[in-house]
Structure 1
Amino acid sequence: MTDNVIALLPHNIEAEQAVLGGLMLNTDEDRCQTVLSILKPDTFHLRGHRAIYLALRGLIKTHQPTDLITVSHALESKGELDLIGGFGYLAQLCQVPSVASMVNYARIVRDKAVQRYTLEKLYSCIELVNANNGQDIESKLSSVQQMITAVTDHARTGRKGGLRPASDVIGDWVDDIDRRFSDPDGAAGFTLGIEDLDRLMAPKQTLRGALVVVGARPKMGKTSTYNKIATHFALNHRVPTLVFSLEMTDRAIIERMVAQEAKVNSEIFYVGAKNDSDMARAMAKAGELAESNLMIDSTPGVTLAHIEAECRKVKRQRGDIGLVAVDYLTLMKPEAAERRDIAYGDITTGLKNLAKELNCVVLLLTQLNRKLEERADKRPHPSDSKDSGQIEQDCDVWIGLYRDAIYNKNSDPTLMEMILRLNREGASGTAYSKMVDGSIRDITHEEGERLAQTGQERTNRYSKKSLSEEF
């Protein structure tokens, strides 16, 4: 943008002055904290006003006075007093019309900043669309959508992308810590809704911005795990939950989700229930899901660009997304690339970037190579991922599903091991659950270990018996 355009960008100098003067004269702590929550240093249009606000904020956070003398001393110690117009300009700011109205003045300043940021992004969109840089129109439109999403996010949170001063980041981090201790239930990240797995991932749980990959061979319970996590986000965390299923229809997904939450066999929806309470419980759960923030897209063979566009639209409309769930990687339509692993690697990297951009959790299911079945121990590892070696680098959490009964008939047919191989924010290890009628059921860690040990002992006895019969 030209200097003339920048000079014409929306601003209200009088409102900025009134906020700064109000903070210097203010004696109401609640009013002061409200202003600090509304404004960031770069919300101010004038560079000098940003410097004054930084000085005021530093004094407030260290519980020091914010009168004319202390503010001028703070600025002078940084060599910024002359930059802002000297002691005289600070004295002029103290002639504020009404200290009691400074929250209203702060909202005016913020609104002007949002307008400026919006215009800056719109100019960038125009430049991007007109640029002859070799990008195809789909890529340009994806970038435009990303910038528009950044505008709406800025309007809601006041945060911008790009480089940020460490002081701003630390300020946000300290605010997060305050929220954690004031709200212990919301102190950590998201639980996944599987008790033994949540125990293993405590205390941080799954943080926003994380890519969670669940990998398994067929019949291990990937879709059931996926449904369990998605319904937990929608019904317990009560956040917008976006489900992209490339394998099942939307009605089939809902049917399995309802059956799982109601703890009934999905066959009752075809042959009827033996007792009325099962069907009543299922319909009640269906009603809860209908009123939740769950959204389902069962478009086959979708691209990464499709998922990004749909997610950004919801982010703009609702202001927040908790979970984006994709079932599963190799059913997505990749962009052209030299090799399949490169193409699918681009998708996993894109989904990780989407998690960070939208500040949500992305859950991705992936098939594993059949070569793992040639090993004596068939429990999966991230390196077993099919068609993509990039997954291990991109994901924050990697969970492999394993049911020993698929390979050993003497093992408990319901026992599922959830093997947390990679967890960048916490411990790794094995959690246990059960698969009953195609649904996940919680069990204690001790019960899971007992069932696993019993199955191993039965397998060993069967092997010894077979050997003795041979000889």
Structure 2
Amino acid sequence: MEAEQALLGAILVNNDAFYRVSDFLEADHFFEPLHRQIYNVAADMIRAVKRANPITIKTFLPEDEKIGEITVAEYLVKLAVEATTVINAEDYGRSIYDLAIRRNLIGIGEDMVNIAFDAPVDMVPSVQIEDAERRLFELAETGRYDGGFSDFNSAVISAIDMAAAAHSRDGNLSGVASGIRTLDNRMGGLQSSDLIVLAGRPAMGKTSLATNIAFNIAEGYQFEVQPDGTNKAVNGGIVGFFSLEMAAEQLATRIIAEQTEISSSKIRRGEINDSEFEKLVGCSQMMSKIPLYIDQTGGISVGALAARARRLKRQRGLDVLIIDYIQLMSGNKRTDNRVQEITEITTGLKALAKELNVPIIALSQLSRQVENREDKRPQLSDLRESGSIEQDADVVLFVYRDEYYAERAIADVDSKDYEKNLIRYEAGRGKAEVIIAKQRHGPTGIANLAFQPEYTRFSDLAEDSHIPEQFE
């Protein structure tokens, strides 16, 4: 109480004291309700470039309220008379903030104890752990865990900050660069709080594209130290990769094959010479330094995944999260209705993207109905098991390689369309399409990429204007 009184007195005597604490101290951090009202009124007046003192703010406070034997107006004068100096204002502000955080911790602790004692029969302990971890994470990130409205001016300032960051970042992108220029130009990079669904039929290369993007972002990571001592990514980022299908070493093998241009099948079989082995060792030393973290837990629930993602952001930082893939996840509540479970998963992932303020790339399977069409390019209706994937996603990308289908078609040499299929195969060899089927922030369309299956590598396709002149 003494710290609150001292700070409010300093603000009423010299309004400059407010700016020493306004960047971290909110009205809700005050313990005494009247102090919250005084701080709120004073803050509004000071931000409006008006003088805040006992005379100007008393009309905005309840006249009939008593503090002991004195009125609110007399209490304001008492605060001003007994005010501390402006120099100490920040110290008092920090003390008030720290005590508010402790009160919130006490509240979370009491809730944990009470719920553990009186938990309903159908509430498993893991659910309580995830809820407690979520509340603790939110407290650690923001110092508060209550939601609410924010004024539009704050949103405008954030939008301008994003534009300024895009102007100064490599490639002038507002989001995190995927390292594939053709894709970045169409999407403006991977946008914070977006749920990006990357889907495709088996063998199209969706996992390969995800690992390519993960490595490009982690390799390009550059940061600057903020005034509070934390690191902020200025290029690239820290990547978390949930590999529900493949083991961590299989994922690493793919990335090593891509970087060294040594076939992953040769690496697995040990069919490499000494010079290739040296390339592998050199690549592994480089990769050991990049901020790419892999979790290979299979069948993880959306709640457990969220808890681990929060922990990663708190302990090491997090700029992009990748999940391979949605259909291998489970909901927090087991149910026989798979469509309902997928809906819970995608809703949870979108909420997590907003909470962590990072882009989440979630891979997804497509239904077999694609194979029954003549044109096998995927459509939004092909997303498997639930329309919620299309609904909750901010961006939907489909990976399509016509080379794969043409190669299967030319296997039948007796087919009447053999020549036609051969031409189609030659035209599509080494190429892939990333179809942007949905994008909240920009246009849909097709990004044409190059694909090297032996190295599982996607890259930008060389434009005709950049290819050296050919001579017969």
TM-score of the two chains, using structure 2 as the length reference = 0.78
Deviations along 1:302-356, whole A, 9 cap, x unmatched? 33344233223324434x4322222122233565323332333332223223323
Q: Paired residue for 2:205, among 218, 221, 238?
A: 221
Alpha-carbon distance in 2 for matches of 1:174, 1:336: 42
For the pair 1:257 / 2:255, whether they are aligned, the reply is yes
**1:17–1:374: structure 2 CA closer, same or farther, 3 Å change rule?**
same
Alignment of 1:221-370 (within 5 A): 221-237=205-221, 239-261=237-259, 265-266=263-264, 269=267, 270-272=270-272, 279-280=278-279, 283-318=281-316, 320-333=317-330, 336-370=334-368
Alpha-carbon distance in 2 for matches of 1:87, 1:211: 52
Alpha-carbon distance in 1 for matches of 2:256, 2:395: 27
Alignment of 1:27-426 (within 5 A): 32-62=18-48, 64-68=49-53, 72-74=55-57, 76=59, 78=60, 80=62, 86-94=72-80, 95-138=82-125, 141-162=126-147, 164-167=148-151, 170=152, 172-177=154-159, 179-180=161-162, 183=165, 184-185=167-168, 188-202=174-188, 205-237=189-221, 239-261=237-259, 265-266=263-264, 269=267, 270-272=270-272, 279-280=278-279, 283-318=281-316, 320-333=317-330, 336-408=334-406, 409-426=425-442
In terms of fraction of residues, the more helix-rich structure is 1
Q: Which amino acid aligns with 2:162?
A: R
Alpha-carbon distance in 2 for matches of 1:174, 1:20: 29
Report the secondary structure of 2:22's partner residue.
Answer: helix
Structure 1 residue 250 displacement after superposition? 0.7
Q: Percent identity?
A: 29
Structure 1 residue 261 displacement after superposition? 4.2
Q: Which amino acid aligns with 1:92?
A: K
1:39/1:158 contact within 8 Å kept: no
Structure 1 residue 400 displacement after superposition? 0.7
Show the counterpart of 1:467: none
Report the secondary structure of 1:37's partner residue.
Answer: coil
Show the counterpart of 2:414: none
Structure 1 residue 361 displacement after superposition? 2.4
Structure 1 residue 438 displacement after superposition? 1.0
Report the secondary structure of 2:428's partner residue.
Answer: coil
Structure 1 residue 251 displacement after superposition? 1.1
**1:429–1:260: structure 2 CA closer, same or farther, 3 Å change rule?**
same
Report the secondary structure of 1:411's partner residue.
Answer: helix
**1:405–1:305: structure 2 CA closer, same or farther, 3 Å change rule?**
same
Alpha-carbon distance in 1 for matches of 2:342, 2:440: 22
1:241/1:324 contact within 8 Å kept: yes
Structure 1 residue 364 displacement after superposition? 1.2
**1:423–1:136: structure 2 CA closer, same or farther, 3 Å change rule?**
same
**Aligned-pair Cα RMSD in Å:** 3.1
**1:149–1:301: structure 2 CA closer, same or farther, 3 Å change rule?**
closer
Alpha-carbon distance in 1 for matches of 2:117, 2:440: 41
1:366/1:385 contact within 8 Å kept: yes
1:22/1:102 contact within 8 Å kept: yes
Alpha-carbon distance in 2 for matches of 1:352, 1:154: 20
**1:143–1:386: structure 2 CA closer, same or farther, 3 Å change rule?**
same
Alpha-carbon distance in 2 for matches of 1:158, 1:174: 23
Alignment size in residue pairs:
420
Show the counterpart of 1:459: none
Structure 1 residue 45 displacement after superposition? 1.4
Alpha-carbon distance in 1 for matches of 2:64, 2:155: 31
Alpha-carbon distance in 2 for matches of 1:81, 1:286: 71
Structure 1 residue 405 displacement after superposition? 1.4
For the pair 1:442 / 2:428, whether they are aligned, the reply is no
2:15/2:51 contact within 8 Å kept: no
Show the counterpart of 2:229: none
**1:363–1:25: structure 2 CA closer, same or farther, 3 Å change rule?**
same
2:244/2:296 contact within 8 Å kept: yes
Deviations along 1:51-101, whole A, 9 cap, x unmatched? 222223223333x144416xx43562x455666953333333333222112
Where structure 2 has 5 or more consecutive residues not aligned to the other structure, the ranges are 222-235, 407-424, 468-472
